[in-house]
């Protein structure tokens, strides 16, 4: 188990992303729609198709 400093750094990272100073898209290996969450969890759990990080699109 590890700790992260999200409360301190996440707001700053969101600002960088909004201003186009950082592109976080490289982190995500797969993208799913909200309706496909069960499929996304299954893929992540089994590491199918080299799944490492999933982004769920709600828009």
- Which band of pLDDT confidence, cut at 50, 70 and 90, is reported for residue 3? confident
* Spatial contact of 59 and 31, defined as CB atoms under 8 Å apart: no
**Phi and psi angles of residue 5, each rounded to the nearest 5 degrees, phi first:** -105, 45
Mean pLDDT of 15-39: 93
What per-residue confidence (pLDDT) applies to 29? 94
d(CA 40, CA 30): 8
Answer with the residue of higher pLDDT: 6 or 9: 9
- Which band of pLDDT confidence, cut at 50, 70 and 90, is reported for residue 6? confident
pTM to 2 decimals?
0.63
């Amino acid at each position: 188990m590890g700790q992260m400093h999200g409360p301190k750094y996440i707001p700053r990272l969101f600002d960088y992303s909004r201003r186009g100073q950082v592109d976080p898209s490289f982190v995500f290996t797969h993208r799913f729609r909200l309706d496909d969450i069960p499929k996304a969890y299954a893929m992540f759990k089994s590491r199918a198709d080299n799944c490492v990080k999933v982004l769920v699109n709600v828009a």
